[in-house]
Amino acid sequence: MQKGACKKQMKNQNGMRCCRAQNITDREFSGMITIEMAYIAPVMLLVFFLSVMGIFYYHDKEIIASCAYEAAVVGSAKAREKSGATAETVEAVFEERALGKCILFGKVQGSAQIDEEKVVVKASAVRGKIRLSVTETAGITKPEAKIRKYRKLLP
């Protein structure tokens, strides 16, 4: 017998002779995949669910940021009017816009501050240990005053 030759010879499915050590059958390794999947499946599920939660978090953050910015712009436009804008009006606009749009965060709270030059809307949401806060600002523009200023300069 040659050195390195197999002691037990058998025929494979194609009818060719092969060594038993080279022929791996399902019987010999039937529980191996089950054991591997018992370790891998929970890790795969954890990664999947964490990525879904991350997607929901950033989705809600963008929704809240856009609602806050929209409320700030509405407050900025109303501040130019004669009656002006109040913080309560801007907060009501924000809550109207954000109502029912978030997936992860159920209750979103917002507060507004109105100065002479800008409107600031701060929004926050909490779910368990996950917290989210956004601040959006819109300047109060007075284009009428600028146009009048330019007309005075013209001859």
Q: What is the pLDDT of residues 57-96, one digit of tens each?
A: 999 999 999 999 999 999 999 988 888 888 999 999 999 9
Give the model's pLDDT for residue 3.
Answer: 55
Give the model's pLDDT for residue 101.
Answer: 87
Low-confidence ranges of the chain (pLDDT < 50): 1, 22
Give the model's pLDDT for residue 19.
Answer: 56
Burial class (CB in 10 A: 0-12, 13-18, 19+), 125: buried
Give the model's pLDDT for residue 9.
Answer: 54
Give the model's pLDDT for residue 66.
Answer: 95
pTM: 0.71
Give the model's pLDDT for residue 150.
Answer: 77
Give the model's pLDDT for residue 118.
Answer: 92
Give the model's pLDDT for residue 28.
Answer: 63
Look at strands 108-114 and 118-127 and give their pairing: antiparallel
Give the model's pLDDT for residue 14.
Answer: 61
Structure tokens at 131: 């917290």
